[in-house]
Amino acid sequence: MSMTQRVNLENMRHGTELLKRGFAKMQEGGVIMDVVNAEEAQIAEDAGAVSVMALERVPADIRSSGGVARMSHPDMIKEIIETTSIPVMAKARIGHDEEARVLEALGADMIDESEVLTPADPFFHIAKNNFTVPFVCGCTNLGEAVRRVAEGAAMMRTKGEAGTGNVVSAVQHARLVANEIELAQSSGEEGRTEMVDVIMQGFQRVNRASSFNLDSNTTPFGTMEEVRAEVTSVLEDVARLGRIPVVTFSAGGISTPADAALMMKHGMDGIFVGSGIFKSSDPVQTAEAIVLATHHFEDPSVVAEASAMIGEPMPGLEIETLDVRLEERGW
């Protein structure tokens, strides 16, 4: 994915899609920070964040606490909305339409259908075109990204492995997506049809789970034929544009200014960061430094300056030692 390949907002397929993707494009080139209270939201805003993500616990605490992770309490979300002047996003569980409807009613500016929370539906994600509020979703590969955009996501993020302070999964996902985009571009019509066949398998989870040779043709997003047509259209956009056809950020494990610069050099449009700031020794300085490095990722001297601003980064985790891999959630 190249930063020079911009998203064309003039030719969207759904009535509210121009507005949804237009909002996502406003975040381009910036940093979105996870916050758990109004004080942290103010730190993020003062540091230059383009948005905040309101949640009760940063991913590192969700990971260490275990149990079922759900949508944040409405009072906390409303407090952050009322005390910051930048857009406020909030997380809903994968497939949990009603959490998403609550967040939309609360006035969240964007909903993250997030693998950081415990999935609610083992078969399908939320039908995002049924909402006015835009959605951001995670992906580990191009097929996952195409499915989410076909479902109505206005923004994507590579998943990484949230709450680890380890950027390796974010790099893995960015490289895999970039190489699969090249495959879509170099494949002819027949080759892309085969790619669509593979992508469509992600909508067959109910059939595969049944003991009765189930062959259901319905999904929350329409019939299988309608979904295939949308998937084909999105993949054609990918081949034509040379990138995912919505604004695409990197997330998961970014904890230093150099990490942020690295992901921007991988062609990301911006950065999500949470635990990496508020689990560091100096959240204020770390927040400012990551914003600085993101804005000036092509200038090593500025990234070096940003790197010198921070104290101790958050302690990191080796991916191979994890009992739960959040990046594996999502279908």
Contact 255, 276 (CB under 8 A): yes
Q: How far apart are CA 292 and CA 229, in angstroms?
A: 42
Task: Give catalytic status of residue 20 as yes or no.
Answer: no
Q: What residue has token string 């500025």?
A: 302
CA angle 192, 187, 141 (to 5 degrees): 65
Q: What residue has token string 């992901």?
A: 263
Angle at which helices 142-151 and 224-241 cross, to 10°? 120
Q: How far apart are CA 54 and CA 28, in angstroms?
A: 19
Active-site residue among 91, 128, 159, 279?
A: 91
Q: How far apart are CA 331 and CA 314, in angstroms?
A: 30
SS3 98: helix
Q: How far apart are CA 88 and CA 54, in angstroms?
A: 7
Q: What residue has token string 């974010």?
A: 170
Calculate the CA dihedral of residues 294, 300, 306, 311 and round it to 10 degrees.
120
Catalytic residues: 91
